[in-house]
Homo-oligomer: A and B are copies of this chain.
Amino acid sequence: MLIGVLGGGQLGQMLALAGMPLGLRFRFLDPTPNPPAAAVGEVVTGAFEDEAVLAKFAAGVDVVTYEFENVPGASVRWLAQRVPVYPPPQALETGQDRLKEKTAFRELGFAVHDFENVEPGDDGLGAVARLGLPLVAKTRRMGYDGKGQMVLRTAADAARLRATLGDGALLIERLVTFKRELSIIACRGRDGACVTYPLTENVHEGGILRVSRAPAAEVDAATERSARQHAEALLQRLNYVGVLAVELFDTGTELYANEMAPRVHNSGHWTIDGCEVSQFENHCRAVAGLPLGEPGVRGSSVMVNFIGAMPPVAELLKIPGVRVHDYGKEPRAGRKVGHATLVGAGAVLTQTLIAAAANGQIASC
């Protein structure tokens, strides 16, 4: 079976590495030549908006999925008329629009912060007045890694709203202090069966994920159960097929749903080494119509992102038990170029790994 993947980044690479042992083969569509996934499948190079490119990409593929959600909805619908697309286009469109996303969260009983929609042409000051500072404003579309958002603490911030975020539709929501960021990853098969991975704790810096720990510490059973049930309800509501991630804010008393990603997610990279069946394998199984696998969590995992440049792999591998994932990308500031995971390791090794990521080099271990 040939799987077509929109996007050819590291998520595509990891999907193929997980799917190939099941006999699946992969083709990627990416605007840049020689993306990371080129190592693991054929790449069609071209714009997502170009119908000739889409036709070349779609010819002969059995199913289409994506590893990058900011694909134009029109392109996905064009493909969906010709070949099965999972997750379905309406799920992608819900994830691409912060208003649809937050509305779905609220309707399904997730806790959400008060929010208002701000249409193009509206300066947003009415919504700011009604919700009350402090607030966070986000473009409704095309935001990722902290881009396309700003915090409004003062009237002066509010006055700069359009100058900072542009003329498009916005979502403004109450800025609520939270204790930590969590996420949950869930997967639904074509047959409607669901599996969920444990709540994961995530540390961001500058809007970019740095460290994930899973299962998240200090989560009571009721909270864990509730998060899993809400995630499954979202999958069912969207008639979803594949992996979905929901980012949550833990205030200490409640988990607020922040946003969803309709794809495999960086906060689930620990599942490659920390579970028997990773998010990548389950996503492949789902879109290929194969039975899902129970995660089979192996212990406590910590995943550390390498941002900008890889530490030397030969040095990294001296850390006992470390599992290294080098995406083969050129170094560039702010770019995710790899990650490493420790399963069941103690605090000292974890600190060594985090220090390696921070410095681009390895402290003694």
Contacts and interface: CB of A to CB of B under 8 A. Distances in A.
A20 B20 contact: no
A326 B296 contact: no
A317 interface: yes
Contact of A22 (B290, B293, B313, B318): B313
A329 B343 CA distance: 34
A252 interface: no
A336 B274 CA distance: 30
A228 B296 CA distance: 31
B25 A21 contact: no
Task: Work out how many copies of this chain go into the complex.
Answer: 2
A23 interface: yes
Contact of A39 (B13, B20, B285, B321): B20
Interface residues of A, number: 35
Contacts of A25: 39, 328
Interface in A284-337: 285, 289-291, 293-294, 296, 298, 310, 313-314, 317-318, 320-321, 323-328
A325 B21 contact: yes
Among A23, A293, A325, max chain B CB count under 10 A is at A23
A62 interface: no
A291 B320 contact: no
Interface in A1-59: 13, 17, 20-23, 25, 39-41
B321 A22 contact: no
Interface in A318-362: 318, 320-321, 323-328, 338, 343
A313 B39 CA distance: 25
A276 B272 CA distance: 11
A142 to B, nearest CB: 30
Contact of A314 (B21, B40, B289, B343): B289
A291 B318 CA distance: 7
Given A20-B328, A22-B317, A23-B338, 6 more contacts: A17-B20, A23-B327, A25-B328, A273-B276, A276-B343, A291-B314
9 contacts: A17-B17, A20-B39, A21-B323, A21-B324, A21-B326, A273-B276, A291-B314, A291-B318, A296-B321
